[in-house]
Structure 1
Amino acid sequence: MVAALELYLDVDATRRLRTLWRSLEAEGIPTLGSLHQKHRPHVSLAAAGRIDPHAVADALGDFPVGRGLTLDMDFAGQFVGRVLWLGVTATEDLLAHHRQVHERLAAGGVEVWEHYRPGRWVPHCTVSLRVPNPMMASAIRRCLEILPLRATVTGAAVADHANDISHPL
């Protein structure tokens, strides 16, 4: 199971990403749109097997998570395990914001996976967790069709969809 601190995107970017999900689904490629039926397009700042949303809220206090950030998605990529994603340009503002969030989480005793920590994190918007290997090239081509994509962060939450947790921050 995965819990994450997710940044949510403006209406236009969300619409474009959902359209991408639907087109991939029509081609037989599963996306976050069909996983749990609860996902919405997002960029995760932190993730772990479990995250206590109240501990995160306490650790972050009045820190404006994601507010004022603009995210530019300019490339597609994949992680080992057939994970397909849109890459977010790692701007100084985004990396500084990410670092501040993690400093507060660490001070509050909130544990996250190492690969989401500053210096290791790859900013991305996940499209699919399990693209069939023979379909990866066509899935990447479909992703490239909607790029570049600029998004404004409109909200944040701690989400654990498998356990019906969505705690706005």
Structure 2
Amino acid sequence: MYAIIALFDEPTEQKIKAIWYDLKRRGMSNYVDDMRHRLPHITIATYESLHHPQLVNKLIHFYKGQYEMNVEFHAVGSFLKSGVVFLAPTITKELLALHEKHHLMFDDYNHNPASHYLPGKWTPHTTLSSHLAAEKLGHVFQYSVKLAPIKGKITSIALIESIQGNRVEIIFRKRLKKI
């Protein structure tokens, strides 16, 4: 599977990774170890298969004028019947526009009309834990609602591939223009 993800500035990335490691230390979640090379992110789109060079060329062109954007996390959420706890970013006009424009430009790559990442179905989030049993889900949720809000920036866009053996490979990363 492939995904287009929005990546954060270094301080924001480190704050989220610190939460992952604290959840592991407390025996609440092993999300930090589930996938090697995973970075905190917001998924913009997912694709089952694609031709890398063609997509990368379109990504370079499309994102060359895109500016960094502020991102704030003030809420915690969970998907139904998923065992997932996530940080929910404040949904701004800029974040929605980035998502919608991406899907308009790259619609021909989407072969899954049921994707949860399509406009109108998307719940932007940054995962803190996944595949939790109900008891642990409750503990992680209780832990998470006590977190301080996180303010940062989305500073780059990446094309990643989830590879067998539980690892993520960054195929392409595009730094966004500084604000």
Counterpart selection for 1:166 from 159, 162, 170: 170
**Equivalent residue, structure 2, for 1:69:** 69
Counterpart amino acid of 2:20?
Answer: W
**Correspondence list, 1:139-158, <5 A:** 139-158=140-159
**CA positional deviation for 1:51:** 4.4
**Equivalent residue, structure 2, for 1:86:** 87
Counterpart amino acid of 1:7?
Answer: A
CA contact (8 A) 2:69 2:154 kept: yes
> TM-score of the superposition, structure 2-length normalised?
0.82
CA distance in 2: counterparts of 1:44 and 1:93, whole angstroms: 15
Cα distance change, pair 110–133 in 1 and its aligned pair in 2 (3 A): same
Which one is further off, 61-70 or 33-42?
Answer: 61-70
**Equivalent residue, structure 1, for 2:100:** 99
**Equivalent residue, structure 2, for 1:36:** 35
CA contact (8 A) 2:76 2:86 kept: yes
Whichever of the two has the greater Rg, that structure is 2
Q: Secondary structure at the match of 2:71?
A: strand
**Equivalent residue, structure 1, for 2:177:** none
CA contact (8 A) 1:7 1:155 kept: yes
CA contact (8 A) 2:83 2:130 kept: yes
Which one is further off, 44-53 or 117-126?
Answer: 44-53
**CA positional deviation for 1:94:** 0.8
Cα distance change, pair 56–141 in 1 and its aligned pair in 2 (3 A): farther
**Equivalent residue, structure 2, for 1:46:** 45
CA contact (8 A) 2:47 2:109 kept: no
CA contact (8 A) 1:20 1:142 kept: no
* Identity across matched positions, percent: 20
Unpaired runs of at least 5, structure 2? 175-179
Q: Secondary structure at the match of 2:160?
A: strand
Unpaired runs of at least 5, structure 1? none
CA distance in 2: counterparts of 1:4 and 1:112, whole angstroms: 13
Q: How many residue pairs align between the two structures?
A: 166
**CA positional deviation for 1:55:** 3.8
